[in-house]
Amino acid sequence: MWDQRYSADEYIYGKDPNEFLANAASNLPKGKILCIAEGEGRNAVYLATHGYEVVAVDSSAVGLEKARKLAQERGVSIETIVADLAEFDIQPDSWDGIVSIFAHLPPATRKQLHTKVVNGLRPGGVLILEAYRPDQLKYKTGGPPNEEFMMTLQSLEEELSGLSFEYAAELDRDVVEGQFHTGKGAVVQLIGRKP
């Protein structure tokens, strides 16, 4: 499905970074950043233009090809890895930051991934995450069609135990990020640091 969605020339989530990431990025320590479910690369490329060493992972080869093209357009380089996050190995204590923007996965995969995210951060490393909450179903402005793929602050507190949340909020905001995410959105946002 994602390869097909990404096959248009247009960047379906736009070329600009996610708004929350752009506002929160200064919390990321300089160094190696892993962007999970990164799609067409808008967030990875933004971070690379700000001096980070970025690796973008996604199961869509078509999305990541566009990510590399965007990086070239902006005069930066990023590493891309085509992988299923259900199987992707995150080496413990190896990332200064991990970025997860609208990474909606089946619950079992998500929980396992979040454990790997906590382990994968170095001490002092930071996770920046934004995702739709189940309330998003009433807005019908994007995101998965099923509640169990969405996240709440409570579910994230459990799944990401081991991180200290420096900012965490559930809010409704105008999400204007390409044709598939446009309109009022119910989101959860967090900045979590590994002590």
Ligand X SMILES: C[S@@+](CC[C@H](N)C(=O)[O-])C[C@H]1O[C@@H](n2cnc3c(N)ncnc32)[C@H](O)[C@@H]1O
Structure tokens at 82: 């085509």
Total binding residues toward ligand X, as defined by CB under 6 A: 19
Output the smallest distance, CB 99 to ligand X, in A: 8
Output the smallest distance, CB 195 to ligand X, in A: 26
Task: Work out whether 61 is an interface residue with ligand X (CB under 6 A).
Answer: no
Collapsed DSSP state (helix, strand, coil) of residue 173: strand
Output the smallest distance, CB 130 to ligand X, in A: 8
Give the whole-angstrom CA distance, residue 118 versus residue 95.
Answer: 10
Helices assigned H by DSSP within 28-166: 42-49, 61-73, 107-120, 136-139, 153-159
Q: Which of 24, 34, 38, 128 binds ligand X (CB under 6 A)?
A: 38
- Cα distances from 63 to residues 10, 42, 106, 161, in angstroms, run 11, 10, 20, 31
Specify which residues 170 forms β-bridges with: 188
Task: Work out whether 186 is an interface residue with ligand X (CB under 6 A).
Answer: no
Task: Work out whether 58 is an interface residue with ligand X (CB under 6 A).
Answer: yes
Task: Work out whether 63 is an interface residue with ligand X (CB under 6 A).
Answer: yes
Q: Which of 20, 52, 95, 102 binds ligand X (CB under 6 A)?
A: 102
Output the smallest distance, CB 4 to ligand X, in A: 11
| Site residues (vs ligand X, CB under 6 A) | 2, 13, 18, 37-39, 42-43, 58-60, 63, 84-86, 101-103, 105
